[in-house]
Amino acid sequence: MSAADWTPIWLWLAVIASGLYHGINPGMGWPLAVSAGLMERSPRALVSALWPLTAGHLLAMLVVILPFALLVAIVEWQRTIQIGASLLVIGFGLYRLVNRRHPRVLARISPAQLGLWSFAVALAHGAGLMLVPIYLGLCREAELDSGHVAAGALINTNLGMAVLVAAVHAAAMIAAGGCCAWLAYRYLGLKFISQSWFNLDTIWAVSLTLVGAIALVLNLS
């Protein structure tokens, strides 16, 4: 296979890797599933808590990607949109680098509204934005693959791709988070929560900027 053939594989791996990365980060919520399991004294409660966490994360991805799914259908603007998206991701990464504050409004969400919280926390930290350059890359690959098609068909393809990317990402996220929660609940104990928690704020902000920068370079080249 040529280098070009490998591109979609790398992009899909990036979708999965970012999902795993979000999933193992306690800040994205898996300790809440542990708490739910222990509070109700039932592994079923742990699993039940994972669903709203997944749904919220999935929705946060879709909310960010879907507008781009519609935009990239405007073929003549594609390059502009891709560069704009890269700049947006870089800008948000730089913003997170400077402003380290956790949005206070998140602390107002009740523990009973896990789905809403998961949605808000993913949105606030730009988790969805990281997927945008990867998603745009996948759209371009799909388009190159199928040749020129009607705009309507292209939108359908792009929308389908958006849902697929968000779903694969969220599945990887919850697989990783669910494993961490189950390990803490069943085997490692509550100490694992603080042991597994690293302050990734800087790395997160830098990786957002990096993803945006790579996408920008690829688009300009």
- In the complex, which residues of this chain contact another protein (CB under 8 A)? 26-29, 31-32, 34-35, 38-39, 41, 100-104, 106-112, 117, 121, 190-191, 193-194, 197-199, 201
- For another protein, the closer CB: 101 or 148: 101
**Shortest Cβ 212–another protein spacing (Å):** 24
- For another protein, the closer CB: 41 or 148: 41
- For another protein, the closer CB: 29 or 212: 29
In DSSP notation, 64-130 reads HHHHHHHHTTSGGGHHHHHHHHHHHHHHHHHHHHH--PPPGGGGGS-TT-HHHHHHHHHHHTTHHHH
**Shortest Cβ 105–another protein spacing (Å):** 10
**Shortest Cβ 16–another protein spacing (Å):** 22
Question: Residue 63 and residue 66: Cα distance in Å, rounded?
Answer: 6
Distances (CA, A) of 57 to 1, 70, 197, 212: 35, 21, 19, 21
**Shortest Cβ 61–another protein spacing (Å):** 18
- For another protein, the closer CB: 148 or 191: 191
**Shortest Cβ 202–another protein spacing (Å):** 9
Torsion of CA 113, 188, 170, 199, to 10 degrees: 80
Give the Cβ contact number of residue 123 at 10 Å.
20
**Shortest Cβ 142–another protein spacing (Å):** 36
- For another protein, the closer CB: 132 or 180: 180
- For another protein, the closer CB: 66 or 109: 109
In DSSP notation, 200-218 reads -HHHHHHHHHHHHHHHHHH
Q: For the purposes of burial, counting CB atoms within 10 Å of the CB of 181, is it exposed (0-12), middle (13-18) or buried (19 or more)?
A: buried
Q: Is 30:23 a contact under the CB 8 Å cutoff?
A: yes
